[in-house]
């Protein structure tokens, strides 16, 4: 009598059964999701809001992403008139297109965007300064909120953040009064909005004085902003819309103005600044500033310029890749990285005390 072959069936463990069941569930969800996407049932039109569950998921994803990505960002002093006054002018000239003017209704065209551009008077009610900076700097996907148009320009981004913080503190009613006064004072002139004209100082010490700068330099600067060789999220959009004739006209207009007088600063290391300007720093392979500035008409004149503006620009040059597309930009990038921050402040202070008219 032949022996029957006994087949033993191995029983799956509890966790193995859970794993197999999970794979089946996941596969079913993938198939169901694919079928849902291909069916076209979901209305993608901006005329209809997302489902509540979709809004819930997007909001959590957005807020957690911004919170994690913005961690570690160093926040400057935001109660700074130079910062928020510059930010105000950029906000009025650019941001209000979508977000509207504080205290006034939103343009119907933009109010029908999905998501609708938020009222930025409440930006600091939902996010802190780091998070607002990150959003302004990097934008948000699928919302119409663009990234800042220029890399390595945190100074410009912080000016907008500073203004939004002030907007939140004083309220839309008071902000609307300030903005209206600013609009009337500038008479909506694009350049005068920040740079002023006819001997008046700029709206902020972070803005360069253009009075009496050479026409060749001003024309080159605007052309480089327009072509993307110079990085500025404030200037690039303005210059992009300017024709060759408008660039030439604005350059000639500012070049015809009398140059500014210097401003004294008793707290600065003027002696060190004078040495860098006239002799350079041979041990650091830094040439004298006046070997180009004041000699080459295509280089900017520094006498009488804002100390804070020059020091900020030198600090920006220390970041690799900042405005290095032009020959002049590549040169200044190298020099900026060879200067310490203290040396940059000293030479900026020296030039700010000099009378431009006497230097000509």
13 vs 273, more confident: 273
pLDDT of residue 29: 92
For residue 186, pLDDT beyond 50? no
88 vs 268, more confident: 88
CATH topology of domain 208-257: Cytochrome Bc1 Complex; Chain D, domain 2 (1.10.760)
Question: What whole-number percentage of the chain has pLDDT above 70?
Answer: 89
For residue 187, pLDDT beyond 50? no
For residue 153, pLDDT beyond 60? yes
On the question of a common fold for 81-194 and 208-257, the answer reads: yes
Question: What whole-number percentage of the chain has pLDDT above 90?
Answer: 54
CATH topology of domain 269-360: Cytochrome Bc1 Complex; Chain D, domain 2 (1.10.760)
CATH of 81-194, one of 3.30.920, 3.40.1110, 1.10.760, 3.40.50: 1.10.760
- Reduce the secondary structure of the chain to three states and give it as a string: CCCCCCCCCCCCCHHHHHHHHHHHHHHHHHHHHHHHHHHCCCCCCCCCCCCHHHHHHHHHHHHHHHHHHCCCCCCCCCCCHHHHHHHHHHHHHHHHHHHCCCCCCCCHHHHCCCCCCCCHHHHHHHCCHHHHHHHHHHCECCCCECCCCCCCCHHHHHHHHHHHHHHHHHHHHHHHHHHHHHHHHHCCCCCHHHHCCCCCCCCCCCCCCCCCCCHHHHHHHHHHHHHCCCCCCCHHHHHHCCCHHHHHHHHHHHHCCCCCCCCCCCCCCHHHHHHHHHCCEHHHCECCHHHCCCCCCCCCCCCCCCHHHHHHHHHHHCCCCCCCCCHHHHHHHHHHHHCCHHHHHHHHHHHHHCCHHHHC
333 vs 171, more confident: 333
Residue extents of the structural domains in the chain:
81-194, 208-257, 269-360
């Amino acid at each position: 009598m032949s022996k029957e072959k006994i087949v033993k069936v191995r029983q799956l463990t509890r966790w193995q059964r859970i794993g197999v069941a999970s794979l089946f569930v996941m596969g079913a969800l993938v198939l169901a999701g694919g079928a849902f996407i291909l069916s076209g049932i979901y209305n993608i039109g901006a005329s209809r809001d997302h489902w509540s569950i979709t809004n819930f998921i997007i909001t959590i994803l957005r807020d957690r992403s911004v919170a994690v990505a913005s961690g570690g960002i160093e926040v400057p002093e935001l109660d700074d008139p130079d910062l928020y006054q510059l930010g105000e002018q950029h906000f009025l000239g650019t941001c209000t297109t979508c977000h509207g003017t504080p205290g006034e209704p939103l343009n119907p065209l933009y109010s029908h965007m999905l998501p609708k551009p938020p009222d930025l008077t409440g930006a600091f009610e939902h996010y802190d300064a780091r998070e607002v900076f990150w959003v302004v700097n990097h934008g948000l996907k699928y919302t119409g909120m663009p990234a800042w148009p220029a890399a390595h320009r945190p100074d410009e981004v912080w000016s907008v953040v500073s203004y939004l913080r002030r907007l939140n503190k004083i309220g839309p009613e008071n902000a609307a009064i300030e903005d209206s006064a600013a609009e009337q004072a500038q008479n909506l002139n694009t350049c005068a909005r920040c740079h002023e004209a006819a001997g008046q100082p700029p709206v902020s010490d972070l803005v360069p004085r253009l009075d009496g700068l050479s026409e060749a330099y001003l024309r080159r600067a605007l052309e480089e902003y327009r072509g993307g060789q110079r990085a500025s999220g404030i200037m690039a959009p303005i210059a992009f819309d300017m024709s060759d004739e408008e660039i030439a006209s604005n350059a000639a207009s500012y070049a015809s103005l009398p140059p500014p007088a210097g401003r004294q600063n008793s707290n600065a290391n003027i002696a060190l600044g004078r040495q860098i300007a006239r002799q350079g720093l041979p041990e650091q392979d830094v040439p004298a500033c006046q070997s180009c500035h004041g000699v080459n008409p295509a280089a900017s004149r520094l006498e009488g310029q804002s100390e804070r503006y020059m020091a900020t620009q030198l600090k920006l040059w220390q970041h690799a890749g900042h405005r290095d597309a032009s020959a002049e930009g590549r040169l200044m990038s190298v020099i900026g990285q060879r200067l310490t921050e203290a040396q940059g402040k000293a030479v900026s202070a020296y030039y700010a005390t000099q009378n431009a008219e006497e230097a000509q």
